[in-house]
Structure 1
Amino acid sequence: MAATTHPAAHPPSRRGLSARAKENIAGWLFVAPVVIILGLFMLLPILMALWVSFTDWNGQGSPFKSTVPMAGLDNYTKLFTDEGLARQDFMTSLRNNFYYVVIVVPAQTVLALGLAIVVNSRVLKGKTFFRGAFFFPSVTSSVAISVVFLFIFANSGAVNGLLGLFGIEGPQWFSDARGTLHLLLSAVGLWDIDNPPAALLSGGPFGLSWWEWLSGPSVGMMTIIILVIWTSSGTFMLMFLAALQDIPASLSEAAMIDGADRKRVFRHVTLPMLKPTLFLVLTLGMIATWMVFDQVYVMSQGNPAKTTLTPAYLSYRTAFRNFEYGPGTAISFVLFAIIVIMTLAQRWIMRDRGAPGRSRAAAAQREV
Structure 2
Amino acid sequence: MRRRRAGLPARRGHLRDDVTGWLFAAPVVVILGVFLLLPILMAMWVSLTSWNGQGSPFKGGVPFVGLDNYSRLFTRDDLARQDFMTSIRNNVYYVAIVVPLQTVLALGLALVVNSRLLKGRSFFRSAFFFPSVTSSVAVSVVFLFIFGNSGALAQLLGFFGVKGPEWFSDSRGVLHLLLGVDTPPAALADHGVFGLSWWEWLSGPSVAMCAIIALVVWTTSGTFMLMFLAALQDIPVTLEEAAMLDGAGRRQRFRYVTLPMLRPTMFLVLTLGLIGTWQVFDQIYVMSQGAPAKTTLTPAFLSYRTAFRDFDYGAGTAISFVLFLIIVLLTLFQRRVMRERRG
- Give yes or no for TM over 0.5: yes
CA–CA distance in structure 2, aligned partners of residues 144 and 135 of structure 1:
16
Question: Is 2:90–2:205's contact at 8 Å kept on the other side of the alignment?
Answer: yes
**Inter-partner Cα distance in structure 1 for 2:311 and 2:5:** 64
Letter aligned with residue 302 of structure 1: G
The whole-number CA distance in structure 2 between the counterparts of 1:103 and 1:354 is 25
- 3-state DSSP of counterpart to 1:216: coil
1:241 alignment counterpart: 229
Please name the residue that 1:203 is paired with. 191
The answer to whether the 8 A contact 2:103-2:221 is kept is yes
Q: How many residues align?
A: 343
| 3-state secondary structure, aligned to 1:351 | helix
Counterpart residue identity of residue 130, structure 1: F
Name the SS for the 1:211 alignment partner: helix
Which residue of 2 is the match for residue 316 of structure 1?
Answer: 304
Does residue 120 in structure 1 map to residue 110 in structure 2?
no
Deviations 1:288-329 (A, max 9, x none): 000000000000000000000000000000000000000000
Deviation at 1:253, TM superposition (A): 1.1
Separation in 2 of the partners of 1:353 and 1:101? 22
Query: Is 2:212 aligned against 1:224?
Result: yes
Separation (CA, whole Å) in 1 of partners of 2:241 and 2:79: 61
TM-score, L = length of structure 2: 0.97
The TM-score, its normalising length taken from structure 1, stands at: 0.90
Cα offset, 1:15, TM superposition: 1.4
Residue 181 (1) aligns with residue 175 (2): yes
Evaluate the alpha carbon distance shift between residue 261 and residue 318 of structure 1 in structure 2; reply closer, same or farther with a 3 A threshold. same
8 Å CA contact retained: 2:240, 2:253: yes
CA RMSD in angstroms, aligned pairs only: 1.6
Q: Which residue of 1 aligns with 2:54?
A: 60
2:252 — aligned with what?
A: 264
Q: 1:329 and 1:352 mapped to 2: Cα distance?
A: 35
1:299 counterpart letter in structure 2: M
**What is the rounded CA distance, in whole Å, between the counterparts of 1:122 and 1:201 in structure 2?**
56
1:170: how far off? 2.2
CA offset digits 1:198-242 (Å, max 9, x no partner): 110021110100000000000110110000000000000000000
User: Which residue in 2 is equivalent to 1:254?
Assistant: 242
**Distance in 2 between the 1:121 and 1:80 partners?**
51
Task: Provide closer, same or farther for how the CA distance between residues 12 and 69 of structure 1 changes in structure 2, counting only shifts above 3 A.
Answer: farther
Amino acid at match of 2:279: M
- Pick the aligned partner of 2:36 from 38, 42, 50: 42
SS of residue matched to 1:79: coil
Cα distance in 1 for partners of 2:198, 2:246 equals 53
Instruction: Identify the match of residue 129 of structure 1 among 123, 127, 131.
Output: 123
The runs of 5 or more residues in structure 2 that have no matched partner are none
Q: 2:268 aligns with which of 280, 292, 295?
A: 280
Which structure is larger by alpha-carbon Rg, 1 or 2? 1
Please point out which of 132, 142, 145 is paired with 1:138: 132
1:29-49 Cα distance to aligned partner (Å, 9 max, x none): 011100000100001000000
SS at structure 1 position matched to 2:61:
coil
8 A contact 2:149–2:169 mirrored in 1 = no
1:325-353: CA deviations, max 9, x gaps? 00000000000000000000000000055
Output the CA distance in 1 between the equivalents of 2:109 and 2:271: 19
| Distance (whole Å) between structure 2 residues aligned to residue 11 and residue 278 of structure 1 | 53
1:169 to partner: Cα distance: 3.1
Going from structure 1 to structure 2, the CA distance change for 1:259 and 1:83 (only over 3 Å counts) comes to same
Q: Which amino acid aligns with 2:196?
A: L
Residues in 2 aligned to 1:114 and 1:172: alpha-carbon distance in whole angstroms: 32
Q: Residue in 2 aligned with 1:343?
A: 331
One-letter amino acid of the structure 2 residue matched with residue 266 of structure 1: F
The aligned amino acid for 1:52 is V
1:97 is the counterpart of 2:96: no
Q: Match of 2:256, SS?
A: helix
Cα distance in 1 for partners of 2:5, 2:243 equals 57
The equivalent of 1:295 in structure 2 is 283
Structure 1 letter corresponding to 2:262: L
User: Structure 1 317/163 Cα, relative in aligned 2: closer, same or farther at 3 Å?
Assistant: same
**Alignment of structure 1 residues 60-99 onto 2, 5 Å:** 60-99=54-93
Mark the CA change 1:163 to 1:267 in structure 2 (over 3 Å): closer, same or farther. Answer: farther
Counterpart of 1:17?
Answer: 11
Gap change, CA 1:205 and 1:11, over 3 Å in 2: farther
Matches within 5 A, 1:318-337: 318-337=306-325
